[in-house]
């Protein structure tokens, strides 16, 4: 940001300590399922009073054979389709894919999108209230992808869905999609995995580690107990820095060069305290995130992504992948530098019912799986045609 606001302009109001959805906020299209018992956690212990927020589109068939599960990435939520509005700070993140006549045609399919366990848009996470009326904050337990899928399986049970016609997810959503197919093979008929490997590697964990350090180094992090801080301020600087770094990994160097080059932001002079255009771009995305997300959820979900390893406790990756019975498509983005194509190629080769790796062509890097909806829609069509 610029060093100081002009004297004739008031400073922008600070965002709340957390951008999480809270009790009393408009529900938007959300509904909730509460687990009947505490959720056992893979790392030990259990999580009580679990609620999973979700949204649906379309109508479930009498035999529940038309259900599709859509799983969001790190800073996504259950709002896959629809406009921004009360209860939803942003429009649907995959809106072109879901609706009448679209790839996930809601005249045909019953589309379900949960907010991930540990998230901040309605499902139980660090910003949620505990049984004693206080917020979990830094006491929220460590989660893995398998814990999150266990909560989603309870949601499916509550909705009367024994088997998904299709499970689809990209990035962190792809990790959970894979866990569904490996851990619950009898409940997944078809699987689409986008921009996601079989396990998080050293480079992805390293990028994540820097982001986690940025958040925890913010003096307002308060060991995660900032949600009801007396001054009302949260770790906005740390979360914003984490988002800036993450966003660089989400886009490609070629795209950033083509869009921004060395251009200055408007009339600002980078040599006199101003910004380059690319710095303004990162500032914009940081500001947007701190107003709609929660730093504690960012930490919880990032650590869960680092834990992603299909082979853990299953005799290795190759043995785990042999459990998958769903017809599967694996796709990677050709310009992705966060999860390069090599990881998806290895994943596709290890799956017993997968076609050859599909490549999404995009200049946008990792975010291509969100942006190139026409190509992704064609992949969905391959898996749903004739069903």
Apex CA 96: angle with CA 120 and CA 22, to 5°?
15
> Which residue in 214, 235, 210 sits closest to 224, CA to CA?
235
Contacts of 81 (CB under 8 A, 6+ apart): 57, 92, 94, 95, 97, 98, 99, 111
How far is 364 from 360, CA to CA, in rounded Å?
A: 10
Beta strands in 334-385 (DSSP E): 358-360
Running DSSP on this structure, what letter comes out for residue 47?
E
How far is 115 from 32, CA to CA, in rounded Å?
A: 10
How far is 134 from 157, CA to CA, in rounded Å?
A: 29
How far is 111 from 96, CA to CA, in rounded Å?
A: 14
- Chain-centroid distance of CA 286 in Å reads 16
Tokens encoding 317: 């990756």
Task: Note whether 263 and 46 are within 8 A (CB).
Answer: no
Answer yes or no: 127 catalytic: no
Answer yes or no: 319 catalytic: no
Exactly one of 218, 294, 336, 367 is catalytic; name it: 336
Exactly one of 227, 236, 247, 366 is catalytic; name it: 366
Exactly one of 18, 171, 297, 307 is catalytic; name it: 171
Answer yes or no: 367 catalytic: no
Running DSSP on this structure, what letter comes out for residue 133?
S
Using DSSP, state whether 326 is helix, strand or coil. Answer: coil
Task: Catalogue the active-site residues.
Answer: 171, 336, 366
């Amino acid at each position: 940001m610029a060093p100081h606001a002009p004297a004739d302009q008031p400073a922008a109001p600070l965002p709340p300590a957390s951008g999480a959805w809270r009790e009393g906020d408009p529900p938007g299209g959300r509904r909730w399922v509460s687990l009947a018992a505490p959720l056992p956690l893979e790392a030990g212990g259990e999580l009580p009073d679990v609620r999973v927020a979700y949204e649906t589109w379309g109508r479930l068939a009498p035999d529940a054979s038309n259900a599709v599960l859509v799983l969001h990435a790190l800073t996504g939520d259950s709002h896959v389709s629809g406009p921004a509005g009360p209860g939803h700070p942003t429009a649907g993140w995959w809106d072109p894919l879901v609706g009448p006549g679209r790839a996930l045609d809601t005249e045909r399919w019953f589309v379900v999108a949960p907010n991930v366990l540990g998230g901040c848009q309605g499902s139980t996470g660090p910003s949620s209230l505990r049984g004693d009326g206080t917020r979990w904050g830094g006491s929220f337990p460590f989660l893995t992808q398998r814990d999150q899928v266990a909560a989603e399986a309870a949601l499916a049970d509550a909705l009367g869905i024994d088997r998904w016609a299709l499970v689809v997810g990209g990035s962190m959503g792809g990790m959970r999609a894979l866990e569904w197919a490996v851990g619950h093979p009898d409940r997944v008929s078809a699987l689409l995995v986008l921009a996601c490997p079989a396990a998080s590697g050293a480079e992805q964990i390293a990028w994540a580690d820097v982001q986690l350090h940025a958040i925890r180094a913010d003096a307002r992090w308060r060991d995660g107990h900032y949600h009801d801080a007396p001054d009302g301020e949260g770790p906005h600087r740390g979360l914003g820095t984490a988002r800036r770094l993450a966003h660089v990994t989400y886009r490609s160097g070629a795209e950033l060069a083509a869009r921004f080059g060395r251009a200055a932001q408007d009339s600002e002079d980078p040599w006199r305290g101003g910004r380059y255009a690319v710095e303004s771009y990162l500032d914009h995305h940081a500001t947007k995130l701190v107003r709609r997300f929660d730093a504690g959820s960012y930490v919880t979900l990032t650590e869960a992504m680092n834990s992603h390893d299909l082979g853990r406790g299953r005799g290795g990756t190759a043995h785990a992948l042999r459990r998958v019975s769903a017809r599967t498509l694996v796709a990677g983005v050709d310009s992705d530098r966060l999860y390069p194509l090599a990881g998806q190629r290895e994943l596709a080769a290890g799956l017993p019912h997968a076609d050859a790796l599909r490549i999404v062509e995009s200049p946008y890097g990792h975010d291509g799986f969100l942006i190139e909806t026409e190509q992704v829609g064609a992949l969905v069509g391959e898996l749903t045609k004739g069903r």
